[in-house]
């Protein structure tokens, strides 16, 4: 299957996604059509049996044959219907399983920075809700469509054979039904897009409302304006969607209600019998079969609605499958050593204003480089570029003389470990979380990594120890989660380490334990640390002061103090974090070049 790479024609998202199971779906629809057609045979059998019993040449053998054929067809109808449903559900199981795996594999190749700009509800909707919508279509739509077409074709053909004049009269309500159904479909399609947008907004607002509930309660505010707007917007869109739909469908349903159709048949039959064109007995097949057309046709609207939903869901799944992936080298190169160089680095998100510009520095093996600066200066973006969460817009990053874009991901992340502010742990055991980068690691190696990260004793205190499941058996603090992420990086044993303010959200007690773990882990490694406080990086061999995406000053702590520049002034202020924010975000009267 080529879903991961071949772009789909925008007008055929369903055809593209369902191509691998097209044959199974056609077979399921044909079996369902045959089953529906055979289910009408007993009704024709009742009419034939009545005619036979009233005939002067009636015999028990002919009546028995009619009954036997009717029962056999009824049994065969059930067999074909079961086979159709089984085939459709097997096809559904095949395609939904494939799509979930294909999406997971594709998302593993998407730049990690892509996820920072996406709402979790959007990915969840494609992976779960939209594929669930496709399940309804694949497992039920095609068999239902087959039953409708089979029943209608068989019934119309049978009635035409009985008497084409009364058949035409009996079918008069159905063109009107199709007309109103088309109006309902047009109304549904017209408002489906806005309704889908409002649903997406509501899902995002619900997530934000739940996450922000503690803050709302803390300030005595029980209402989130964005959530209320999302609810009101959805209610309005749903009203616009349903009002014309309900009116059109009410008229359509009234036209082919069994009583309406039977009334038309009886009126036509009375006229034709009175004119001597047919006998009362010949009316019986129409009375039995024609009302049976109503139920299958009423299903048309339901499955058409499912089709519209499925097309939109398929388009969202395809959009996710066609998200640009991180380019992998055709021929991977291997770094000759662990020297990290940043040359003329520039970066901007899409067509936005550049976040970083002209960044140059070298991280020598075994040394520590610290990057300081105010919030929004590009520090975290720089760290993520080194980890190839994004590729630079300008310049390059080399590791051991090789552009990181020419190094395969496994080699790159085997050389560079990282501990970020936002710790992501799986809902799995402590052991599995630590061994994420080395699934074959022994228990002794996992425990040794936990000891380096200063988290081993805390794990042993848990009821199930290393088998404790995160957020089920193990509720960890922010500092403990950070130390667990350090243990995960320790187990990989990378020669380079990137730390992005790992103690930013940790309390004082947790910070001490975390700093001890980081100090043990960083020993003998090349380290790039993003810091908010100058006193935490004063011993670094190289300090870079970043402001508005450019390096304003660089050097060791002593060299920067001796230069009496911006860094020295900030150090003299004492409150390093707040000083950085105030002094760097407010442009001074005479700012040193190039800032």
What is the predicted pLDDT for the residue at 446?
92
Report whether 410 contacts 494 (CB < 8 A). no
67-98 pLDDT tens trace = 899 899 999 999 999 999 999 999 988 888 88
173 three-state secondary structure:
helix
What is the predicted pLDDT for the residue at 35?
92
In the CATH hierarchy, which top-level class contains the domain 340-585?
A: alpha beta
pLDDT of residue 577 exceeding 50: no
Report whether 289 contacts 159 (CB < 8 A). yes
479-528 pLDDT tens trace = 888 888 888 888 888 888 888 876 665 555 556 666 777 777 777 788 88
What is the predicted pLDDT for the residue at 32?
93
- Neighbouring CB atoms inside 10 A of 571's CB total 16
94-136 pLDDT tens trace = 888 888 888 878 777 776 666 655 555 567 777 777 887 788 7
* 294: Cα within 13 Å, side-chain hemisphere: 18
Query: Position of tokens 């490694």?
Result: 525
Contacts for 282 with CB less than 8 Å, ≥ 6 apart: 162, 163
Q: Do domains 13-321 and 340-585 have the same CATH topology?
A: no
In CATH terms, the superfamily for domain 13-321 is: ABC transporter type 1, transmembrane domain (1.20.1560.10)
Higher pLDDT residue, 15 or 505? 15
Q: Which of 45-59, 192-206, 388-402 has the highest mean pLDDT?
A: 388-402
Q: Are strands 542-547 and 550-555 parallel, antiparallel or unpaired?
A: antiparallel
Report whether 354 contacts 549 (CB < 8 A). yes
Instruction: Write out the two tokens for 3.
Output: 């879903």
pLDDT of residue 145 exceeding 70: yes
Strand (E) or helix (H) holding 371: strand 368-372
Whole-number average pLDDT of the chain:
80
Strand (E) or helix (H) holding 270: helix 258-274
Where in the chain are the domains?
13-321, 340-585
Report whether 502 contacts 421 (CB < 8 A). yes
What is the predicted pLDDT for the residue at 163?
87
Identify the weakest region by mean pLDDT among 144-158, 320-334, 359-373, 509-523: 509-523
- 3 state SS for 485-528: HHHHHHHHCCCEEEEECCCCCCCHHHHHHHHHHHHHHHCCCEEE
What is the predicted pLDDT for the residue at 130?
81
Mean pLDDT to the nearest integer, 460-476: 87
161-220 pLDDT tens trace = 888 888 888 888 888 887 877 777 777 667 777 777 787 778 777 777 776 666 666 655
pLDDT of residue 288 exceeding 80: yes
Higher pLDDT residue, 303 or 100? 100
What is the predicted pLDDT for the residue at 220?
58
Strand (E) or helix (H) holding 329: none
Identify the weakest region by mean pLDDT among 330-334, 349-353, 430-434: 349-353
Strand (E) or helix (H) holding 356: strand 356-363
Category of 63 on φ-ψ map: left (φ > 0), alpha (ψ -120 to 50) or beta: alpha
Q: Are strands 542-547 and 368-372 parallel, antiparallel or unpaired?
A: parallel
Express as a percent the part of the chain with pLDDT over 70: 86
């Amino acid at each position: 299957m080529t879903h991961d790479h071949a772009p789909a024609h925008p007008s055929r998202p369903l055809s593209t996604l369902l191509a691998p199971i097209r044959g199974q779906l056609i077979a399921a629809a044909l079996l369902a059509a045959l089953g529906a057609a055979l289910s009408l045979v007993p009704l024709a059998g009742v009419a034939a049996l009545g005619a036979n019993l009233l005939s002067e040449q009636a015999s028990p053998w002919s009546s028995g044959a009619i009954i036997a054929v009717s029962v056999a067809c009824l049994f065969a109808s059930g067999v074909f219907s079961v086979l159709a449903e089984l085939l459709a559900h097997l096809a559904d199981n095949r395609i939904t399983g494939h799509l979930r795996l294909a999406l997971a594999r594709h998302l593993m190749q998407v730049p990690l920075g892509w996820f920072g700009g996406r709402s979790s509800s959007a990915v969840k909707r494609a992976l779960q809700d939209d594929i669930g919508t496709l399940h309804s279509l694949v497992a039920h739509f095609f068999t239902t469509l087959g039953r409708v077409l089979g029943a209608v074709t068989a019934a119309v053909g049978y009635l035409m054979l009985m008497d084409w004049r009364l058949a035409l009269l009996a079918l008069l309500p159905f063109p009107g039904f199709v007309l109103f159904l088309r109006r309902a479909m047009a109304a549904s399609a017209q408002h489906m897009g806005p309704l889908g947008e409002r649903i997406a907004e509501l899902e995002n607002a619900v997530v934000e409302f739940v996450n922000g509930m503690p803050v709302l309660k803390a300030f005595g505010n029980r209402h989130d304006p964005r959530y209320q707007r999302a609810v009101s917007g959805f209610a309005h869109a749903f009203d616009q969607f349903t009002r014309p739909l309900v009116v059109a469908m009410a008229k359509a349903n009234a036209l082919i209600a069994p009583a309406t159709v039977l009334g038309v048949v009886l009126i036509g039959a009375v006229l034709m019998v009175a004119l001597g064109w047919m006998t009362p007995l010949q009316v019986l097949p129409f009375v039995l079969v024609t009302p049976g057309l109503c139920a299958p046709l009423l299903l048309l609207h339901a499955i058409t609605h499912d089709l519209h939903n499925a097309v939109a869901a398929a388009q969202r799944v395809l959009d996710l499958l066609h998200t640009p992936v991180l380019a992998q080298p055709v021929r991977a190169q291997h770094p000759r050593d662990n020297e990290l160089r940043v040359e003329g680095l520039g970066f901007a998100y899409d067509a936005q204003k550049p976040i970083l510009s002209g960044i140059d520095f070298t991280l020598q093996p075994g040394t520590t480089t610290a990057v300081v600066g105010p919030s929004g200066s590009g520090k975290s973006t720089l760290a993520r570029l080194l980890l190839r969460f994004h590729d630079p817009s300008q310049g390059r990053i080399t590791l051991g003389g090789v552009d990181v874009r020419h190094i395969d991901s496994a080699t790159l992340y085997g050389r560079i470990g990282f501990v970020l502010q936002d710790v992501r742990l799986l809902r799995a055991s402590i052991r599995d979380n630590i061994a994420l980068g080395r699934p074959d690691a022994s228990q002794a190696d996992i425990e040794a990594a936990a000891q380096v990260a200063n988290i081993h004793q805390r794990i042993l205190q848990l009821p199930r120890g290393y088998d404790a499941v995160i957020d089920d058996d193990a509720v960890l603090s922010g500092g403990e989660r950070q130390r667990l992420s350090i243990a995960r990086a320790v187990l990989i044993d990378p020669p380079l380490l990137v730390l992005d303010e790992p103690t930013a959200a940790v309390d004082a007690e947790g910070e001490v334990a975390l700093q001890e773990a980081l100090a043990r882990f960083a020993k003998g490694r090349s380290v790039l640390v993003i810091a908010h406080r100058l006193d935490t990086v004063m011993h670094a061999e190289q300090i870079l002061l970043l402001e508005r995406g450019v390096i304003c000053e660089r050097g060791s702590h002593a060299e920067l103090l001796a230069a009496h520049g911006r860094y020295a002034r900030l150090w003299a202020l004492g409150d390093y974090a707040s000083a950085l924010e105030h002094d760097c975000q407010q442009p001074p009267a005479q700012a040193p070049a190039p800032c």
